[in-house]
Amino acid sequence: MSVAIVTGAASGIGRAVALELARGGTRVLAVDIDLSGAEETASLAAGTVVPHRADVSKPDEVEGYVRAALSSLGTPDKFFNNAGIAGANRTIVDMSVDEWSSTLAINLNSMFYGLKYVLPHMIDAGRGQVVNTGSIASLQGAPKRGDYVASKHATLGLTRTAAAEVRQFGIAVNCICPGSTDTPIIGKFRALLARDGQPIPAQGVGGRGMASADEIARTAAFLLRDDVPFLTGTMLSVDGGASGQY
């Protein structure tokens, strides 16, 4: 039976992916710093979902969630490396060093730690699928988004590097790049835009402003399938065509 680790699983895309995988019979470790949210995700699952609290910006806690998956569910063959935050929404000049560091710690360092501690077990098993969560911000810049854009551009580069390093072991590593999605994190981002008097960008097919988390989850679940092994080192942009407008 497949075993997955999903980070940022307390809400939004992470929760939707955890539930999508569980419905397909995958046993899932739902990781989040918000344990009550991860427990709620587990309560909604049609299959086996085990909640686990971890701060993904801390390498020892990332090692801890990998150990928890191994002990409670088995060797992970699917990894949705997803946890992240919206960032500060300030210009480079106005952004504090602490704000910059916090965003990079959660959005980028956590991606590296996850790959560092999950991939050895996939290498030993000779199989695995990894999906890192990027963003439309992996593909373009935006004012007042320097911390977030830098973290998401780097996530795409890290994805391509990891894919090149582990393809010989039968492991695929890809990046999903959502646009605006109806999740708590986009609500926080829109609140930051409103705070600073910035317009909220419109995007999406048919005039829809946002995708649903379930739509993104179905795309992530496709990338986590084990029957498309030649699809690796790439990204799928799921943004309603918004990235093509620039």
- Residue whose tokens read 């587990």: 42
DSSP string across 49-116: EEEEE--TTSHHHHHHHHHHHHHHT-S-SEEEE----------TTT--HHHHHHHHIIIIIHHHHHHH
Tokens coding 244 = 């093509």
Q: Mean pLDDT throughout 43-50?
A: 94
- Round to the nearest angstrom and report the end-to-end CA distance of the chain: 43
- Residue whose tokens read 């000049």: 93
Question: Which domains, and CATH codes, for the chain?
Answer: 3-238 (3.40.50.720)
Per-residue model confidence as pLDDT tens digits over 21-37: 999 999 999 999 999 99
Query: What pLDDT does 179 receive?
Result: 74
- Whole-structure pTM value: 0.88
Per-residue model confidence as pLDDT tens digits over 141-175: 999 999 999 999 999 999 999 999 999 999 999 99
C-alpha span between 166 and 6 (Å, rounded) = 20
Q: Is 148 a catalytic residue?
A: yes
C-alpha neighbours within 13 Å on the C-beta side of residue 28: 37
Q: Mean pLDDT throughout 212-229?
A: 90
Of residues 65, 113, 117, 148, which has the active-site annotation?
148
